[in-house]
Amino acid sequence: MIQGQSNIANQIDHLFRHEHGKLITVLTKTFGTSNIDLAEDVVQEAMVEALNKWTLDGIPDNPSGWIYKVAKYKAVNILNKEKYKREYVSEVAHHLQSEWTLEPALKHIFTDKEIADDQLRMIFTCCHPVLSSDSQVALTLKTLCGFNIPEIAKAFLTTESNINKRLVRARKTIKEANIPFEVPVGSQLEPRLSSVLETIYLLFNEGYNSTSEDFPIRYELCEEAIRLAEIIVQSAAIKSSNTHALLALMLFNTARFSSRINELGDIIRLEQQNRSKWDQEMIKKGLTHLAFAAEQNEVSIYHLLATISAQHCTAPTYKKTDWEGILSLYDMLLEIDDSPIIQLNRIIVVSKISGFKEALNQLKRIENDPSLHSYLPYYTSSAELYFQDNQPKKAIELLNKAIKLPIGDSRKSLIYNKIKEYSKNI
């Protein structure tokens, strides 16, 4: 029985998400990093062919294998047709152009191990320091995660034209700089890995605190960030304490997702969340990665943030949270990063220990910092402190400023409810 076109389109979309990055990385190794755009074209053509074929004949038993096979031979056809037109800086390409080595080469490059290794190489290619940070994120989402240009533009509140320009600029830079398709080694590894982790963390944060007006949490961004970090920690060649710490942090935060949104799509604050809904297996997994990170005798922002998140995840109730322990962790964090946002988070913890008046005293030291004036938690946290200090008008004034920020409906709904609550005390 031929399945409906909408069902087939959904299947294609699912495959595109989960197989796109794997295919792009294998084909990039085949064509060379200077031809990433060609690799993307081949994958896109394979997906279109699948949609057309499956609409007529139905979805095959092994849809992933079907698309891999089509992509393989499209790549071979291109190599044979364009062998004199385009430079392929790839040893693999040479083997695919010979009928004697074609099948063995295809069999080798499409093994699970080779695909995993190639994804790791692609992560470092997309996050090369010669690329700007915004280009790194855009390229990672496009090539490794299978996001289309409208989705990337929406995720980062910019235009499709801007994303297109970033991608074109990134591909041009990769070609001109002749960036190799490899994982750096020796002294080059740590600084390059740092850039990779920053990109992954930025990707996760956009999912966790989404700027989208439609979705308060972009689950697919968080999932992709975790998947990329897991590729790194599974590599025997990279023993990175920071990667394990970042992965632990993301797992702890993701474990609370099921209790973070109510039936109306509104965000539920930590103290009001139903902890029985937290994913305990994911928390255990996070603790395992955090323990490994701690064994390396290294302390970074990721280690401290993950440990803070672990304190929240393991506290039996909100009231029984070890606020003193968390405060000491924030004190350590300030020695590494004394940004206003870290200071604000520490002030919130101070309010739990020393009360709102002490917290307000510390808040006044940073409230004029311009970097906080586009940061939603600054307004909501400050408003709560002023309300506790019997200053509801000041609290409402701050919340009215918060509503003007580019935030989604769920966050606006939460703020409107707070304004109603505070207004009763005027």
In a domain? residue 183: yes
Q: Do 224 and 281 meet the contact criterion of CB atoms below 8 Å apart? A: no
**What is the C-alpha separation between 110 and 180, in angstroms, rounded?**
20
Q: Are residues 127 and 194 in the same domain?
A: yes
**What is the C-alpha separation between 213 and 81, in angstroms, rounded?**
46
Q: Do 30 and 109 meet the contact criterion of CB atoms below 8 Å apart? A: yes
Which amino acid appears at position 81 of this protein? K
- 200, 230, 260 - which closes a domain: 230
The alpha carbon torsion through 302, 304, 307, 311 (nearest 10 deg) reads -130
Q: What are phi and psi of 261, to 5 degrees?
A: -125, 135
Q: Are residues 98 and 11 in the same domain?
A: yes
- Residue 67 confidence (pLDDT): 85
Q: Are residues 88 and 116 in the same domain?
A: no
| Token pair 């290619």: residue | 125
- Residue 79 confidence (pLDDT): 74
Contacts of residues 69-75 at CB distance under 8 Å and 24 or more positions apart, as own/partner, are 70/46, 71/23, 71/27, 71/42, 71/43, 71/46, 72/106, 72/110, 74/42, 74/45, 74/46, 75/27, 75/30, 75/31, 75/42
Collapse the DSSP code of 309 into the 3-class scheme (helix H, G, I; strand E, B; otherwise coil) and give the result: helix
Q: How far is CA 138 from CA 123, 320, 415, in A?
A: 12, 41, 31
In a domain? residue 26: yes
- Residue 251 confidence (pLDDT): 98
- 80, 110, 140 - which closes a domain: 110
Q: Do 208 and 253 meet the contact criterion of CB atoms below 8 Å apart? A: yes
- Residue 97 confidence (pLDDT): 52
- Residue 3 confidence (pLDDT): 47
Q: Are residues 221 and 250 in the same domain?
A: no
- Residue 262 confidence (pLDDT): 74
**What is the C-alpha separation between 373 and 367, in angstroms, rounded?**
8
**Residue-range definition of the domain harbouring residue 184:** 112-230
31 conformational bin, left if phi > 0, alpha if psi -120 to 50, beta if neither: alpha
**What is the C-alpha separation between 23 and 115, in angstroms, rounded?**
8
Q: Count the alpha carbons within 13 Å of 301 in the hemisphere toward its beta carbon.
A: 10
Q: Are residues 104 and 147 in the same domain?
A: no
DSSP bridge partners of 261: 267
Domain count of the chain?
3
In a domain? residue 397: no
Q: Can you state the angle between helices 102-109 and 5-31, rounded to 10 degrees? A: 110
Q: Are residues 220 and 264 in the same domain?
A: no
- Residue 306 confidence (pLDDT): 97
Show the tokens assigned to 19.
């197989």
- 165, 196, 230 - which closes a domain: 230
Q: Are residues 35 and 84 in the same domain?
A: yes
DSSP bridge partners of 267: 261
Q: In 178-240, which residue ranges form alpha helices assigned H by DSSP?
A: 189-208, 219-233
In a domain? residue 70: yes
Dump the DSSP string for 274-324.
Answer: -GGGS-HHHHHHHHHHHHHHHHT----HHHHHHHHHHHHHH-SSSTT--HH
**Distance spanning both ends of the chain, measured CA to CA:** 66
Q: Do 8 and 51 meet the contact criterion of CB atoms below 8 Å apart? A: yes
Which amino acid appears at position 208 of this protein? Y
Collapse the DSSP code of 267 into the 3-class scheme (helix H, G, I; strand E, B; otherwise coil) and give the result: strand
Q: pTM of the entire structure?
A: 0.82
Q: Are residues 189 and 275 in the same domain?
A: no
**What is the C-alpha separation between 369 and 367, in angstroms, rounded?**
6
Q: Are residues 170 and 186 in the same domain?
A: yes
- Residue 119 confidence (pLDDT): 87
In a domain? residue 25: yes
Collapse the DSSP code of 265 into the 3-class scheme (helix H, G, I; strand E, B; otherwise coil) and give the result: coil
Show the tokens assigned to 413.
């709904």
In a domain? residue 387: no
In a domain? residue 391: no
In a domain? residue 360: no
Q: Are residues 116 and 105 in the same domain?
A: no
Cα three-residue angle 389-395-398, rounded to 5 degrees: 140
Q: How far is CA 303 from CA 59, 207, 290, 411, in A?
A: 45, 20, 7, 29
Q: Are residues 49 and 75 in the same domain?
A: yes
Which amino acid appears at position 309 of this protein? S
**What is the C-alpha separation between 252 and 373, in angstroms, rounded?**
28
Mean pLDDT, the chain cut into blocks of 10 residues (426 residues total): 58 74 85 85 88 84 85 80 54 51 58 78 90 88 85 78 92 90 87 90 81 66 90 89 97 91 74 92 97 89 97 95 97 94 96 95 93 90 94 94 83 87 86
Q: Are residues 132 and 195 in the same domain?
A: yes
Q: Do 131 and 174 meet the contact criterion of CB atoms below 8 Å apart? A: yes
**What is the C-alpha separation between 301 and 242, in angstroms, rounded?**
9
Q: Do 30 and 75 meet the contact criterion of CB atoms below 8 Å apart? A: yes
Length of the chain: 426
Q: How far is CA 376 from CA 37, 339, 386, 403, in A?
A: 38, 16, 16, 9
Which amino acid appears at position 109 of this protein? I
